[in-house]
Amino acid sequence: MSLLSRASALALVPFLLVGCAQTQPQPDAAAASSAMPAPSALPGIDLLTRSEWGAQAPVFAMTPHTPDALTIHHTATPQRPERSPAETLRALQRFSISSDTLDDGRPKKPWADVPYHYYITPDGTIVEARDVRYEGDTNTNYDLTGQVQVVVEGNFMEEEPTEAQLASLVRLAGALSERYGIPPSRVGGHRDRAVGQTSCPGDALEAHFPEVLAAMQGG
Ligand SMILES: [Zn+2]
Protein backbone atom coordinates (compact mmCIF):
# COMPACT_ATOMS: atom_id res chain seq x y z
CA MET A 1 0.00 0.00 0.00
CA SER A 2 1.39 3.42 -0.87
CA LEU A 3 1.86 6.05 1.81
CA LEU A 4 -0.88 8.11 0.22
CA SER A 5 -3.47 5.34 0.20
CA ARG A 6 -2.54 4.27 3.74
CA ALA A 7 -3.06 7.85 4.93
CA SER A 8 -6.40 7.92 3.17
CA ALA A 9 -7.43 4.63 4.76
CA LEU A 10 -6.45 5.84 8.22
CA ALA A 11 -8.39 9.06 7.72
CA LEU A 12 -11.53 6.96 7.19
CA VAL A 13 -11.25 5.12 10.50
CA PRO A 14 -13.05 7.66 12.72
CA PHE A 15 -15.97 7.79 10.30
CA LEU A 16 -16.20 4.01 10.15
CA LEU A 17 -16.21 3.81 13.95
CA VAL A 18 -19.01 6.34 14.19
CA GLY A 19 -21.01 4.45 11.56
CA CYS A 20 -20.57 1.15 13.38
CA ALA A 21 -21.57 2.66 16.70
CA GLN A 22 -24.88 3.69 15.22
CA THR A 23 -25.73 0.43 13.48
CA GLN A 24 -24.06 -2.49 15.28
CA PRO A 25 -25.57 -4.46 18.18
CA GLN A 26 -22.37 -3.89 20.25
CA PRO A 27 -22.00 -0.12 20.29
CA ASP A 28 -19.89 -0.14 23.45
CA ALA A 29 -17.29 -2.37 21.77
CA ALA A 30 -17.01 -0.19 18.69
CA ALA A 31 -17.36 3.31 20.07
CA ALA A 32 -14.48 3.49 22.56
CA SER A 33 -13.17 7.02 22.34
CA SER A 34 -9.74 8.16 23.38
CA ALA A 35 -11.31 9.91 26.37
CA MET A 36 -12.58 6.61 27.80
CA PRO A 37 -10.33 3.92 29.28
CA ALA A 38 -10.10 0.90 26.97
CA PRO A 39 -12.43 -1.92 28.10
CA SER A 40 -9.40 -4.17 28.35
CA ALA A 41 -7.38 -1.68 30.45
CA LEU A 42 -5.70 -3.15 33.54
CA PRO A 43 -4.23 -1.58 36.68
CA GLY A 44 -0.52 -0.83 36.32
CA ILE A 45 -0.32 -2.04 32.69
CA ASP A 46 0.71 0.33 29.91
CA LEU A 47 -1.21 -1.00 26.89
CA LEU A 48 -0.75 -0.15 23.24
CA THR A 49 -4.45 0.43 22.61
CA ARG A 50 -6.52 -0.57 19.61
CA SER A 51 -6.84 3.01 18.48
CA GLU A 52 -3.07 3.43 18.76
CA TRP A 53 -2.37 0.47 16.49
CA GLY A 54 -5.14 1.38 14.05
CA ALA A 55 -7.54 -1.50 14.70
CA GLN A 56 -10.72 -1.71 12.70
CA ALA A 57 -13.95 -2.53 14.52
CA PRO A 58 -14.90 -6.23 14.81
CA VAL A 59 -16.52 -7.29 11.55
CA PHE A 60 -19.42 -9.20 13.15
CA ALA A 61 -20.94 -9.79 16.58
CA MET A 62 -18.91 -11.66 19.21
CA THR A 63 -19.98 -13.77 22.21
CA PRO A 64 -19.91 -11.96 25.57
CA HIS A 65 -18.28 -13.75 28.52
CA THR A 66 -16.91 -13.06 31.98
CA PRO A 67 -13.13 -13.55 32.25
CA ASP A 68 -12.22 -16.13 34.90
CA ALA A 69 -9.23 -18.03 33.46
CA LEU A 70 -6.03 -17.45 31.50
CA THR A 71 -4.78 -19.35 28.45
CA ILE A 72 -1.26 -18.64 27.17
CA HIS A 73 -0.22 -19.02 23.52
CA HIS A 74 2.70 -18.51 21.21
CA THR A 75 2.17 -17.25 17.66
CA ALA A 76 4.09 -20.31 16.34
CA THR A 77 5.83 -17.95 13.91
CA PRO A 78 9.39 -16.65 14.33
CA GLN A 79 9.81 -13.41 16.27
CA ARG A 80 10.03 -10.33 14.04
CA PRO A 81 11.55 -7.62 16.24
CA GLU A 82 12.11 -5.38 13.21
CA ARG A 83 8.37 -4.97 12.70
CA SER A 84 6.50 -2.33 14.72
CA PRO A 85 3.81 -3.58 17.13
CA ALA A 86 1.18 -1.57 15.21
CA GLU A 87 2.19 -3.11 11.90
CA THR A 88 2.17 -6.60 13.46
CA LEU A 89 -1.32 -6.19 14.90
CA ARG A 90 -2.80 -4.73 11.74
CA ALA A 91 -1.41 -7.70 9.78
CA LEU A 92 -2.79 -10.13 12.35
CA GLN A 93 -6.20 -8.50 12.19
CA ARG A 94 -6.25 -8.68 8.39
CA PHE A 95 -5.47 -12.42 8.61
CA SER A 96 -7.99 -12.95 11.40
CA ILE A 97 -10.99 -11.51 9.59
CA SER A 98 -10.20 -13.33 6.32
CA SER A 99 -10.79 -16.84 5.05
CA ASP A 100 -7.43 -18.54 4.74
CA THR A 101 -5.70 -21.90 4.67
CA LEU A 102 -3.75 -23.04 7.72
CA ASP A 103 -0.23 -24.49 7.54
CA ASP A 104 -1.69 -27.99 7.89
CA GLY A 105 -4.06 -27.43 4.97
CA ARG A 106 -7.25 -27.01 6.98
CA PRO A 107 -9.45 -24.04 6.05
CA LYS A 108 -9.60 -21.11 8.46
CA LYS A 109 -12.96 -19.40 8.72
CA PRO A 110 -13.11 -15.62 9.15
CA TRP A 111 -13.19 -14.40 12.75
CA ALA A 112 -14.81 -11.17 13.96
CA ASP A 113 -11.47 -9.82 15.17
CA VAL A 114 -8.01 -10.84 16.35
CA PRO A 115 -8.52 -14.15 18.25
CA TYR A 116 -6.43 -13.12 21.29
CA HIS A 117 -7.12 -10.50 23.94
CA TYR A 118 -3.52 -9.43 24.60
CA TYR A 119 -0.42 -9.71 22.38
CA ILE A 120 3.17 -9.39 23.66
CA THR A 121 5.74 -8.33 21.05
CA PRO A 122 9.47 -9.19 21.23
CA ASP A 123 10.27 -5.80 22.81
CA GLY A 124 7.76 -6.53 25.59
CA THR A 125 5.00 -4.21 24.40
CA ILE A 126 1.61 -5.40 25.67
CA VAL A 127 -0.98 -4.79 22.97
CA GLU A 128 -4.74 -4.56 23.44
CA ALA A 129 -6.20 -7.03 20.93
CA ARG A 130 -9.81 -8.34 21.08
CA ASP A 131 -12.05 -6.68 23.66
CA VAL A 132 -11.61 -8.90 26.74
CA ARG A 133 -15.37 -8.85 27.40
CA TYR A 134 -15.92 -11.19 24.43
CA GLU A 135 -14.75 -14.78 23.94
CA GLY A 136 -11.67 -15.38 21.82
CA ASP A 137 -11.36 -17.65 18.79
CA THR A 138 -9.35 -20.77 18.00
CA ASN A 139 -8.56 -23.30 15.30
CA THR A 140 -8.67 -26.06 17.92
CA ASN A 141 -11.54 -27.49 19.92
CA TYR A 142 -12.00 -26.37 23.53
CA ASP A 143 -14.36 -24.24 25.61
CA LEU A 144 -13.39 -20.58 25.19
CA THR A 145 -15.83 -19.27 27.80
CA GLY A 146 -14.09 -17.19 30.45
CA GLN A 147 -10.64 -17.69 28.94
CA VAL A 148 -8.48 -14.58 28.64
CA GLN A 149 -6.29 -15.33 25.63
CA VAL A 150 -2.71 -14.02 25.88
CA VAL A 151 -0.26 -14.62 23.04
CA VAL A 152 3.49 -14.14 23.09
CA GLU A 153 5.14 -13.58 19.69
CA GLY A 154 7.51 -16.35 18.69
CA ASN A 155 7.82 -20.07 18.04
CA PHE A 156 8.84 -21.41 21.43
CA MET A 157 9.38 -24.92 20.15
CA GLU A 158 12.38 -23.40 18.31
CA GLU A 159 13.40 -20.14 20.02
CA GLU A 160 13.40 -18.51 23.45
CA PRO A 161 11.08 -15.74 24.66
CA THR A 162 12.91 -12.47 25.27
CA GLU A 163 13.51 -11.19 28.80
CA ALA A 164 11.19 -8.28 27.99
CA GLN A 165 8.42 -10.67 26.91
CA LEU A 166 8.73 -12.73 30.08
CA ALA A 167 8.66 -9.65 32.29
CA SER A 168 5.55 -8.37 30.48
CA LEU A 169 3.81 -11.76 30.66
CA VAL A 170 4.40 -11.98 34.41
CA ARG A 171 3.12 -8.41 34.95
CA LEU A 172 0.09 -8.98 32.71
CA ALA A 173 -0.81 -12.25 34.45
CA GLY A 174 -0.60 -10.54 37.82
CA ALA A 175 -2.82 -7.69 36.67
CA LEU A 176 -5.40 -10.08 35.15
CA SER A 177 -5.44 -12.08 38.37
CA GLU A 178 -6.00 -8.90 40.37
CA ARG A 179 -8.70 -7.57 38.05
CA TYR A 180 -10.70 -10.81 37.57
CA GLY A 181 -9.73 -12.90 40.59
CA ILE A 182 -8.03 -15.58 38.46
CA PRO A 183 -6.19 -18.12 40.66
CA PRO A 184 -3.10 -20.13 39.59
CA SER A 185 -5.30 -23.20 39.11
CA ARG A 186 -7.10 -21.40 36.25
CA VAL A 187 -3.92 -20.72 34.23
CA GLY A 188 -2.70 -22.99 31.46
CA GLY A 189 -1.11 -23.23 28.05
CA HIS A 190 -3.18 -23.78 24.93
CA ARG A 191 -2.06 -27.44 24.83
CA ASP A 192 -3.43 -27.93 28.33
CA ARG A 193 -6.88 -26.85 27.06
CA ALA A 194 -6.79 -28.54 23.64
CA VAL A 195 -4.92 -31.70 24.56
CA GLY A 196 -3.30 -33.48 21.65
CA GLN A 197 -4.24 -30.73 19.18
CA THR A 198 -1.30 -28.33 19.41
CA SER A 199 2.19 -27.84 20.84
CA CYS A 200 1.27 -24.19 21.69
CA PRO A 201 2.70 -22.32 23.65
CA GLY A 202 5.93 -24.28 23.19
CA ASP A 203 8.38 -25.84 25.63
CA ALA A 204 10.58 -22.75 26.04
CA LEU A 205 7.65 -20.59 27.14
CA GLU A 206 5.99 -23.23 29.30
CA ALA A 207 9.31 -23.58 31.17
CA HIS A 208 8.57 -20.12 32.61
CA PHE A 209 5.06 -20.89 33.83
CA PRO A 210 6.22 -21.13 37.48
CA GLU A 211 7.11 -17.40 37.32
CA VAL A 212 3.67 -16.64 35.85
CA LEU A 213 1.84 -18.66 38.49
CA ALA A 214 3.82 -16.96 41.25
CA ALA A 215 2.47 -13.60 40.02
CA MET A 216 -1.16 -14.69 40.40
CA GLN A 217 -3.22 -13.96 43.50
CA GLY A 218 -2.79 -16.93 45.80
CA GLY A 219 0.24 -18.08 43.76
ZN1 LIG B 1 -2.31 -21.37 20.98
pLDDT tens track for 32-60 = 445 567 789 999 999 999 999 999 999 99
For residue 17, report the distance from its CA to the centre of ligand 1, in Å.
Answer: 30
Cα(116) to ligand 1 centroid in Å equals: 9
Overall average pLDDT of the 140-149 stretch: 96
Half-sphere exposure of 214 (CA within 13 A, CB side): 6
> Contact, 152 vs 201, CB < 8 A?
yes
Q: How far is the CA of 194 from the centre of ligand 1 (A)?
A: 9
Instruction: List, as ranges, residues with CB under 5 A of the ion ligand 1.
Output: 73, 190, 200
Question: What does each C-alpha distance from 119 to 2, 22, 23, 105, 215 come to in angstroms?
Answer: 27, 29, 29, 25, 18
pLDDT for the residue 4 = 43
User: pTM of the prediction?
Assistant: 0.82
pLDDT digit string, tens, across residues 103-118: 788 888 999 999 999 9
Give the confidence band of 7 by pLDDT, cuts at 50, 70, 90.
Answer: very low
Domains of the chain (ranges, CATH numbers) = 40-215 (3.40.80.10)
CA of 16 to the centre of ligand 1 (A): 31
Burial (CB < 10 A; 0-12, 13-18, 19+), residue 73, is buried
